[in-house]
Amino acid sequence: MMDRKGLQRWFDRKGWSNLLIGVPYVWLLFFFLLPFLIVIAMSVATKTATAPPISFGGDYPLVNLQGYARAVTDTLYFRAFITSLVSAGIATALCLLIGYPMALGLTRVSKSWRNILLMLVILPFWTSFLLRVYAWMGLMGRSSWFNVGLTKIWNAIVPQGWAVDFMPMMHSNFAVVLVMVYTYLPFMILPLYASLERLDPALDEAALDLGSRPWQVFLDVTLPQSIPGIVAGGMLVFIPAAGELVIPTLVGDAASPMIGRVISDQFSAARDWPMASAIAVVLLVLMVGPAVIYGHFQAKAEGSK
């Protein structure tokens, strides 16, 4: 039992710092770990016609792994996983290809320009995300100036037989990837910029001085040192993109849904909470697994330095 004096001493020594450090952990405990445990519990429950539509124990098995069994065997789910991972992968790669030159450019312009351009990168966040997706839906629609213009260009450059009346952009995985690239690009640019901005410009000069041409300097000096930024940006894009629900729902192809949409459908329309939870857990393992492995090797590399 701690008396008043003991409590006072604890506060004087490191009580406040412990409290401050503790707050985020408490937050994570209540808003991440606990909900996650509930999802895991639901994933092993059995679907019932009650409200809530799940039960364990009693008449039902305590642990029912049917959801997991279906998640890994049913081709519908397998295809949804593949569609999600491939779309997210393509979107991440495109974000990297578009974002890297932009981030590098940001480090090479004057301070005043840099602030303006950084502002422009963040500016889209000031408009509602939904509004921006709807704007893209308008652009991709068959009668929009964007679609008409693209169709004209396409018809002008391809042989007669390939001519089209309009570009079939909406309700396709192409549309999903396009909008995801647009939406997630800042999440790639900002961590890349943060890691590139820290690099010492003298290193580039040293490599030039030792006989490397600018492209060799990029490959030898800039690129290897920006790998942490590439990984951070890649994870920030890939993880939310793989679980994305809104974009595929609005612009995607209903015939080949992404996994986020499947989870949503299972929860709401099908009222199969155990199935939805099982898919969510599998998705989480697919996402977190590689991140943990990377973190492990990163820590090992740091340790050996």
Partner 1 sequence: MAAAGEPFLRIENISKFFGPFQAVRNVTLSINKGEIFSLLGGSGCGKTTLLRMLAGFEEPSSGKIFLDGRDMTGVAPWDRPVHMMFQSYALFPHMSVEKNVGYGLKHENMAAGQKAARVREMLELVQLLPYATRKPHQISGGQRQRVALARALARQPKLLLLDEPLAALDKKLRERTQFELMSIQQRTGVTFIVVTHDQEEAMTLSDRIAVMDRGEVRQVGSPGEVYEFPNSKFVAGFIGSITSFPATIVERQAEQLRLSVPALGGEVMARDVPGLAEGQEATLAIRPEKLLISKERPEGANAFQGTVKDLAYFGKDSLYRVVLPSGALVQAHAVNARRGGEGSRAAGWDDRVWISFAPSSAIVLAG
**Binding interface with partner 1 (CB under 8 A):** 200, 202-203, 205-213, 220-221, 224-225, 305
Report in angstroms how near the CB of residue 216 gets to partner 1 at its nearest. 8
- Residue 6 or 214 having the CB closest to partner 1: 214
- Residue 150 or 208 having the CB closest to partner 1: 208
Distance, in Å, from the CA atom of 251 to the CA atom of 170, rounded to the nearest integer, reads 6
- Residue 3 or 302 having the CB closest to partner 1: 302
- Residue 135 or 206 having the CB closest to partner 1: 206
Report in angstroms how near the CB of residue 198 gets to partner 1 at its nearest. 11
- Residue 24 or 211 having the CB closest to partner 1: 211
77 CB burial (10 A radius; 0-12, 13-18, 19+)? buried
Residue 232 to residues 101, 227, 238, 249, 271: CA-CA distances in angstroms?
16, 8, 10, 27, 36
Torsion of CA 192, 198, 202, 204, to 10 degrees: -10
Q: How many residues does the chain have?
A: 305
Report in angstroms how near the CB of residue 217 gets to partner 1 at its nearest. 9
Report in angstroms how near the CB of residue 97 gets to partner 1 at its nearest. 23
CA nearest 45: which of 273, 241, 299, 301? 273
> DSSP states of 69-126 as a string?
HHHHH-HHHHHHHHHHHHHHHHHHHHHHHHHHHHHHHHHHS-HHHHHHHHHHHHGGGG
Report in angstroms how near the CB of residue 107 gets to partner 1 at its nearest. 17
